[in-house]
Structure 1
Amino acid sequence: MPKAGGKVKAMRKVVEKVIHSNVIRAIIPAGMAVAGPPLGPVLGQRGLNIASFCKDFNARTAHYKDGIPLPCRIQVRGDRTYDLTIHHPTTTFFLKQAAGVQRGAMKPGNEICGKITLKHVYEIAKIKAEDPPLQLTPLKRICEMVIGSAHSIGIEVVRDLDPVEYGEFLESRKVVVEEQLKELEEKKEAKLLRK
């Protein structure tokens, strides 16, 4: 019995020495990190110097166009220092850029907001394969993930795309988007009147 008690005390000492660091996951627009919400309070809770973090992030993302959404992993250490890992822009950002659309479909299963080719999918997958979480994932699996993301925002993946036909599709789509925005605005106004 006394031997077991000694082992438990030794285990406690080992367990107490393990320091777990906090990891903050956030999507921050390139060159636009500010001390205000939503980023500032999260960093402040962990005891980080918000101003120096924002300055560091904005300096490291200066080569990106302002406003591009960048997924970040911020690992906070016990001495209030941090490791900042900045990934490539989000998959949905790349998909919308490749399709030439500003927003996804309101009803993704029922409407198509844009189209991309398999070559677009492959190029996006090659870029995303460089991100740390996906470095060991096969390129085929990343392509499948990109196709899944495309379907979830209403973008159709096709083999070939005729530029003239697609231009006509985007023009007709503008009318649909304007109608949807008007409908959303009307719903907001109706909600405000009820309050």
Structure 2
Amino acid sequence: MSKKLLFTIKLNLSAGNTIPTSTLSSILGQYGINSVNFCKEYNKLTINNNGFIIPINLNIYSNKSYSFLLKTPTTSNLILKILKLKKGSVYPNKQFKGILNNKDINKIINIKKKDLYLLTRKQIKKIIFGTAQSLGVLY
């Protein structure tokens, strides 16, 4: 019996310490995937990125098997970690939380380049600036 791709689910999960919550279990359970085993496998692969939010594409096949593609941490998560902030500003255009320098921006570009390989550095920089602005971070 060949395995046929049924669904692709996009999830953002905490790296290295994901637990089978009721929400995650209900999403995976309806496709016959054991959420405990999934979390163990995911945590093993993301242990080096502990504390980051990692987007994944979860492919579910007809024989109830799955595979997933790990992406780079979200841009907002990278900005918050670099500036050592817990969350962005409630009033992003009035209250500012921090300032990104060129070194930090280049560090984020080098990380995000793996996912955004079709974009130029200038285009990735615009994405970072937009995310930073929505978090109340100056650049």
For normalisation by structure 2, the TM-score amounts to: 0.89
SS of 1:71's equivalent in the other structure is strand
Structure 2 residues without counterparts, runs of 5 or longer: none
**Cross-structure match for 1:145:** 127
Say if 1:34 and 1:40, in contact at 8 Å, map to a contact too. Answer: no
Determine the C-alpha separation between the residues in 1 that align with 2:125 and 2:77. Answer: 15
**Cross-structure match for 1:12:** none
- For the pair 1:83 / 2:71, whether they are aligned, the reply is no
The runs of at least 4 aligned residues of structure 1 exceeding 3 Å deviation read none
**Cross-structure match for 1:13:** none
Deviations 1:22-48 (A, max 9, x none): 111111111222222221111111221
Matches within 5 A, 1:41-56: 41-56=26-41
SS of 2:127's equivalent in the other structure is helix
**Cross-structure match for 2:137:** 155
- For the pair 1:62 / 2:15, whether they are aligned, the reply is no
Determine the C-alpha separation between the residues in 1 that align with 2:127 and 2:102. Answer: 13
- For the pair 1:123 / 2:107, whether they are aligned, the reply is yes
Question: 1:141 Cα shift?
Answer: 0.7
Q: Which has the higher contact order (CA 8 A, sep 6+)?
A: 2
Structure ranking higher in strand proportion:
2
Determine the C-alpha separation between the residues in 1 that align with 2:88 and 2:108. Answer: 17
- For the pair 1:94 / 2:78, whether they are aligned, the reply is yes
Determine the C-alpha separation between the residues in 1 that align with 2:47 and 2:89. Answer: 31
- Letter matched to residue 121 of structure 2: L
Say if 1:114 and 1:156, in contact at 8 Å, map to a contact too. Answer: yes
Determine the C-alpha separation between the residues in 2 that align with 1:61 and 1:124. Answer: 18
Determine the C-alpha separation between the residues in 2 that align with 1:47 and 1:139. Answer: 41
- For the pair 1:110 / 2:98, whether they are aligned, the reply is no
Say if 2:10 and 2:56, in contact at 8 Å, map to a contact too. Answer: yes
Determine the C-alpha separation between the residues in 2 that align with 1:69 and 1:148. Answer: 19
Matched length = 136
For normalisation by structure 1, the TM-score amounts to: 0.65
SS of 2:22's equivalent in the other structure is coil
Question: 1:20 Cα shift?
Answer: 5.2
RMSD, aligned α-carbons: 1.5
Deviations 1:59-113 (A, max 9, x none): 1112232x32111110111111111111122111111122232221111111111
- For the pair 1:74 / 2:71, whether they are aligned, the reply is no
